[in-house]
Amino acid sequence: MAIVDKPTDFFNTLLYTGNDGTGRSITGVGFQPDFVWIKDKSNDFKHGIFDVKRGVTKVVSSNSDSVEQTISNSLTAFGTDGFTVGSNALVNGNNNSYASWNWKAGTAISNNAGSPVGTSLASSGSVNTTAGFSVVTYISNGNNYTVPHGLGVAPNVVIVKNRSIDKFWAVYHSSLGNTKATFLDTTAAPDTDATYWQNTTPTSTVFSVGTNSGNNSGNAMVAYSFAEKIGFSKFGQFNGNSSDDGTFIYLGFKPAFVIIKRTNSTGNWVMQDNKRSSSGGFNENSYSLYSNSTTDQITDESELDLLSNGWKFRNALTDNNAAGSTYIYMAFAENPFVSSSGVPGLAR
């Protein structure tokens, strides 16, 4: 399998300061993003999630089960090196500090692949098979069905949101298996129920959805699917140890963005990246945001030592490193540990 030599071609974190202006161009992403996740890290505002398939001004929030909103002065355009925002405080409040996480998809898809499980629904969206990411939309039918994801390989993570009615964010994670779902918008522990994913693991063409995955007949849905790619992404599980000499998580790359969720009990979805550094641009980082909460940036916990081939915990907090506790994670790369040409990625 090929190594992704330059992960920043497909994912990048960009920080910016708002100015309350209209038609504000936010540049420096390095590519045209097709999935943009924005959080005001200086205020208790909701998360704003945008993608090219649902279209500009269409907002869903990871911290809420609420329906999709149309906010005309939010994200108003996807550009070749970033995006354009209006004056809404969700994305551009005056002097407010924002973090944006940006993924590239880029290839349009529209299909209705067959499936051995249930009925396969038509889906359309945007996919990047090199980076293992797709966003697809579809209309649910209220029954068991499958949805084409376009990746060409089985996804490790699928995140599903009902856009039409207030419904939870259902998350499939390969480390939890096909009998469990966890929920991006809450601190709840994973729930075991066959009606989330039909007890069926995603295939190279489709993922399976049951009647309990926010699935109501005639509702508009969106799904974000991620598959592991060497040098770019990894999705796994680890055990905590309640030590400042914490658990080391091997990724095979230098992490740029990590999301962590406790699974044996309740816990926040902890989000950390390589741009919001608490150590002046060096490895150790204790700045956290929570996908399930509107709270502003937490500056004194979740200390991750971001290394050239993974990360190591330097604390003993229950949200990420409690002894005897299990955690799942999603991680995206800044650099591969060793590129296809033998060039090493170095920690700072």
Residues 117, 98 share a domain: no
Query: Which residues are bridge partners to 271 per DSSP?
Result: 259, 289
Query: Which is it for strands 191-192 and 145-148: parallel, antiparallel or unpaired?
Result: unpaired
Lookup: tokens for 35:
């999935």
**DSSP for 172-239?**
EETTT-TTEEEETTS-PPPEE-HHHHTT----SSEEEE-TTSS--TT-EEEEEEE--BTTTEEEEEEE
* Lookup result for tokens 């290839």: 107
Report the amino acid identity of residue 156.
N
Task: Using the 3D structure, point to which of 167, 194, 226 is the last residue of a domain.
Answer: 226
Residue (of 180, 206, 204) closest to 118 by Cα position: 206
Residues 218, 116 share a domain: yes
Cα 209 to Cα 180: distance, rounded to the nearest angstrom: 12
User: Is 2 within the bounds of a domain?
Assistant: no
Q: What is the pLDDT of residue 139?
A: 92
Q: What is the pLDDT of residue 247?
A: 87
Q: What is the pLDDT of residue 122?
A: 87
Task: Using the 3D structure, point to which of 168, 197, 226 is the last residue of a domain.
Answer: 226
Decide if 52 contacts 126 (C-beta within 8 A). yes
User: Is 341 within the bounds of a domain?
Assistant: no
Q: What is the pLDDT of residue 1?
A: 56
Question: What is the distance, to the nearest Å, from the Cα of residue 158 to the centroid of all Cα atoms in its chain?
Answer: 10
User: Is 220 within the bounds of a domain?
Assistant: yes
User: Is 291 within the bounds of a domain?
Assistant: yes
User: Is 175 within the bounds of a domain?
Assistant: yes
Residues 49, 115 share a domain: no
Residues 117, 70 share a domain: no
Task: Using the 3D structure, point to which of 103, 131, 154 is the last residue of a domain.
Answer: 103
Tens digit of pLDDT at every position of the chain (348 positions): 578 889 999 999 999 999 999 999 999 999 999 999 999 999 999 999 999 999 999 999 999 999 999 999 999 999 999 999 999 999 999 999 999 999 999 999 997 654 444 468 889 999 999 999 999 999 998 889 999 999 999 999 999 999 999 999 999 999 999 999 999 999 999 999 999 999 999 999 999 999 887 788 899 999 999 999 999 999 999 999 988 888 899 999 999 999 999 999 999 999 999 998 765 555 677 789 999 999 999 886 667 888 999 999 888 788 888 999 999 999 999 987 444 444 455 454
Residues 125, 192 share a domain: yes
Lookup: tokens for 94:
């005056």
Residues 327, 258 share a domain: yes
User: Is 346 within the bounds of a domain?
Assistant: no
Decide if 303 contacts 285 (C-beta within 8 A). yes
Residues 280, 209 share a domain: no
Q: What is the pLDDT of residue 118?
A: 47
Decide if 161 contacts 227 (C-beta within 8 A). no
Cα 107 to Cα 303: distance, rounded to the nearest angstrom: 37
Residues 131, 79 share a domain: no
User: Is 242 within the bounds of a domain?
Assistant: yes
Question: What range defines the domain where residue 62 resides?
Answer: 7-103
Count of domains forming the chain: 3
Residues 297, 219 share a domain: no
Residues 179, 148 share a domain: yes
Residues 205, 155 share a domain: yes
Cα 56 to Cα 258: distance, rounded to the nearest angstrom: 26
Please, which residues have CB within 8 angstroms of residue 207's CB and are 6 or more apart in sequence?
146, 147, 149, 155, 158, 172, 197, 223, 225
Residue (of 5, 7, 2, 4) closest to 256 by Cα position: 7
Beginning with the edge strand found earlier in the chain, give each strand of the sheet holding 310-313 in spatial order: 248-250, 310-313, 304-307, 284-285
Lookup: tokens for 124:
């359309």
User: Is 144 within the bounds of a domain?
Assistant: yes
Cα 347 to Cα 340: distance, rounded to the nearest angstrom: 18
Residues 130, 80 share a domain: no
Whole-prediction pTM: 0.93
